[in-house]
Amino acid sequence: MNSLGIYEKALPKMKSWHDRLQLVADLGFNFLELSVDESDERLARLDWTRAQREEVRNAIWDTGVRIHTLMLSGHRRYPLGAADPAVREQSLTMLYKAIDLASDLGIRNIQLAGYDVYYEPKTVLSREYFLENLAKGVQYAAAKEVMLDIETMDDSFINSLAKIQDVKRQIPSPWLQAYPDVGNLTAWPQNDIGHELELGVADIAAVHLKDTQPVTATSKGQFRDVPFGDGTVDFEGCLRTLHRLGYGGAFTIEMWTERAADPVAAVRSAKQFFTELFARVGIEQEAVNARRIEA
């Protein structure tokens, strides 16, 4: 039995956390993946007050919908491997704050983008800074018992589970794991997807479900906003492989439809797409609100 969640940026923006999480349940999902991206608005979540954190916790309890993962894509703006020491310090501070926020809200995983840097040139030094600061973050996360998960990316720095295993060999900790994105894995032609999943299944904390178009000699690929079924991801093959391997973790549908004309309709369509796939493969989704605790 696996849980199924939806990325926050798939949903319309809402003022109330209770209403947002209730919508997640109404759409048939078990959990929400929280976004802390590059925008000032969402980076400010790292400094939520006690009252703001309490509001989110109460919404989780009242609706029975968990927040499993915090996606810390704000590290694109403030990367762990930045050349500027002030940016690196800001990046590490962000990671510590995200770990504290996760601990306060009962979030199990922080998904880290597998970039050393994003908007500046990659160097041997940027790679070294990334590893040094990641090791500090893992040590802090271990003390809080919060998992850090490196995502396979739309970037050659970390675009395979094999590369995540290389990082794990240098930072050996049960609190550092992998968050494969089957779309990103598929888009890189050098990846044998079935073999990658077999190789890394023991390290997988969660899985992103997203369609993509591949990187080729003439194309940089398309890593987002590809409608499910219009890309080249063999979802049935990936899901069947994970099911055979006994993967019991979470799946998150990753979409960016919060500004669409009808984001709820888009999410319903995606949910139906994967509900049919789960049934065909033999994956049973956890019952929605199965752990709700009544007053």
Kindly report, residue by residue over 43-53, the tens digit of the pLDDT: 999 999 999 99
Report the pLDDT value the prediction gives residue 259, as an integer from 0 to 100.
Answer: 87
What does the block give as tokens for 237? Answer: 């093959």
- The DSSP secondary-structure symbol of 261 reads S
Q: pLDDT tens per residue, the chain (295 residues)?
A: 899 999 999 999 998 999 999 999 999 999 999 999 999 999 999 999 999 999 999 999 999 999 999 999 999 999 999 999 999 999 999 999 999 999 999 999 999 999 999 999 999 999 999 999 999 999 999 999 999 999 999 999 999 999 999 999 999 999 999 999 999 999 999 999 999 999 999 999 999 999 999 999 999 999 999 999 999 999 999 999 999 999 999 999 999 998 899 999 999 999 999 999 999 999 999 999 755 555 5
Report the pLDDT value the prediction gives residue 290, as an integer from 0 to 100.
Answer: 54
String of DSSP letters for 121-163: ---HHHHHHHHHHHHHHHHHHHHHT-EEEEEP-SSTTS-SHHH
pTM for the whole thing?
0.94
Answer positive or negative: Cα dihedral of 87, 91, 96, 101: positive
Report the pLDDT value the prediction gives residue 294, as an integer from 0 to 100.
Answer: 59
CA–CA gap between residue 70 and residue 107 (Å, rounded): 7
Report the pLDDT value the prediction gives residue 232, as an integer from 0 to 100.
Answer: 97
Structural contact between residues 75 and 98, judged by C-beta atoms closer than 8 angstroms: no
Report the pLDDT value the prediction gives residue 169, as an integer from 0 to 100.
Answer: 97
Kindly report, residue by residue over 78-134, the tens digit of the pLDDT: 999 999 999 999 999 999 999 999 999 999 999 999 999 999 999 999 999 999 999
CA–CA gap between residue 283 and residue 277 (Å, rounded): 8
CA–CA gap between residue 3 and residue 273 (Å, rounded): 16
User: How would you label 125-162 residue by residue, b for 16+ Cβ within 10 Å and e otherwise?
Assistant: ebeebbeebbeebbebbbeeebbbbbbbbbbebbbbbb
